Amino acid sequence: MNPFESLALPNGAVIPNRIAKAAMEENMADKDHAPSAQLIRLYRAWAEGGAGLLITGNVMVDRRAMTGPGGVVLDSWLHSDRFQDWAATAQAHGAHIWLQLNHPGRQMPAALGQPTIAPSAVAMDLGSFSKQFAAPRAMTEADIAEVKERFIKAAQLAEGLGFDGVQIHAAHGYLLSQFLSPIANKRDDRWGGSLENRARLLIEIIKGVRAAVGSRFAVAVKLNSADFQRGGFSTDDAKEVVEMLNPLGVDLIELSGGSHEAPAMQGEARDGRTLAREAYFLEFAKDIRSVARMPVMVTGGIRRFAVVEQVLASGIDMAGIGTALALDPQLPNAWRTDKAQAPLLRAITWQNKVLASVTYMAMVKHQLRRLSRGKPANPNVAPALALLQQQWDTTIRNFRYRQWIQT
């Protein structure tokens, strides 16, 4: 299939091509935790680059629960003009833009100074890095009800602000993924135990969002194809969850994998097994695709046009690209005349997998900051330098966040 062929969604919307800018955590909010001028400039670059769909980095549904400092928060009509500018900028060349809505659960950095909630009081297991995340308390029924309403409200706000859709983040070890995982979810009530119970919050959020927004507004889900942890959420579980989502009016499922504890997003399982070098999750996705009645998108390591073609030829409907578009936001347009272009980030050879994962994300954010200032990417940035820059930026933003949340 031609990657530049359009994709019609179940809701009737038509994405102009099969290439999506996958979510990357930009952490570029302004002092109000609204879209900054730098963030909007970054999306202008992607809008001009030719991808058919732009999925934003984490937009938080609760200002008390952040995946990191500098994240955009959408919980009211405040700063509507900045959100509207963000949407209009992204749509200026025909792309659709979806807000990725998220809650970190136990994956909230302790440095932010906020109480942490999760399905169960299970702390993060990151070896020597575990103390970077506070031990969570188990959520009450009231907590669960509030989180559900926050996702629904954020989706309604996104529609009113001019975005084309939302993606509910239920992957990568964040809160909804925690509910799905037997490792993080030890509950013995209606929210835990069986997969039906563990998927209940996700299902209720999707139903609530779909009922609250217009029929042409896209509602998508990001789901792990697997957690890549023994005893965690499996590919068989993912297939069952997709079957639960089939009748709910979901417009697209994006399949990824891993978490902070098992960062398979960089192509390696927790036990050190190397996944495919590009399209990490394609084999899992093809299995899950067999039960999905909505379009399916695969994200993870894609940087070559031939791999995009391979993904689509396998029956997957969209290819999600992250790091390659951080290195070259013009890549989709470039592929129209030069299919050999394949941006590559400098390799990290460190043995500590958690540190390597954190550094990889720092290197990507280094590229995003450059693009947001109108500068070209620097794929050869030294990993240690990118990590130091990110640590400094995070320290400053942690301080600003702690001041902001108290006002």
Q: Is the pLDDT of residue 103 over 60?
A: yes
> Over the stretch 172-212, which tens digit does the pLDDT of each residue have?
999 999 999 999 999 999 999 999 999 999 999 999 999 99
Q: Is 180 exposed, middle or buried (0-12, 13-18, 19+ CB in 10 A)?
A: buried
Residue pair 226/239 in contact by the 8 Å Cβ criterion: no
CA distance 217 to 237: 28
> Over the stretch 369-389, which tens digit does the pLDDT of each residue have?
999 999 999 999 999 999 999
> Please, which residues bridge with residue 377 across strands?
none
In CATH, what class is 7-340?
Answer: alpha beta
What are 275's two structure tokens?
């996944």
Please write down the HEC assignment for all residues of the chain: CCCCCCEECCCCCEECCCEEECCCCCCCECCCCCECHHHHHHHHHHHHHCCCEEEEEEEECCCCCCCCCCCEECCCCCCHHHHHHHHHHHHCCCCEEEEEEECCCCCCEHHHCCCCEECCCCCCCCHHHHHHECCCEECCHHHHHHHHHHHHHHHHHHHHCCCCEEEEEECCCCHHHHHHCCCCCCCCCCCCCCHHHHCHHHHHHHHHHHHHCCCCCEEEEEEECCCCCCCCCCHHHHHHHHHHHHHHCCCEEEEECCCCCCCHHHCECCCCCECCCCCCCHHHHHHHHCCCCCCEEEECCCCCHHHHHHHHHCCCCEEEECHHHHHCCCHHHHHCCCCCCCCCCCCCCCCCHHHHHHHHHHHHHHHHHHHHCCCCCCCCCCHHHHHHHHHHHHHHHHHHHHHHHCC
Q: Which of 95-109, 205-219, 257-271, 279-293 is the least confident region?
A: 257-271
pLDDT of residue 372: 97
Mean pLDDT for all residues in the chain: 93
pLDDT of residue 277: 55
pLDDT of residue 125: 87
Q: What is the mean pLDDT of the segment spanning 162-170?
A: 98
Residues 6 or more apart in contact with residue 271 via CB below 8 angstroms = none
| Model confidence band, residue 271 (pLDDT cutoffs 50, 70, 90) | very low
pLDDT of residue 274: 38
Q: Is the pLDDT of residue 258 over 80?
A: no
Query: What pTM value is reported for the model?
Result: 0.94
CA distance 321 to 242: 22
pLDDT of residue 407: 87
Q: What is the mean pLDDT of the segment spanning 101-126?
A: 96
> Over the stretch 303-356, which tens digit does the pLDDT of each residue have?
999 999 999 999 999 999 999 999 999 999 999 999 999 999 999 988 887 888
Q: Is the pLDDT of residue 273 over 50?
A: no
> Over the stretch 386-402, which tens digit does the pLDDT of each residue have?
999 999 999 999 999 99
Residue pair 278/301 in contact by the 8 Å Cβ criterion: yes
Q: Is the pLDDT of residue 292 over 50?
A: yes
Q: Is the pLDDT of residue 364 over 50?
A: yes
pLDDT of residue 272: 41
CA distance 245 to 389: 41
CA distance 72 to 54: 16
| Percentage of the residues of the chain whose pLDDT score is greater than 90 | 83
Angle at 53 between CA 52 and CA 56, to 5 degrees: 150
CA distance 162 to 60: 18
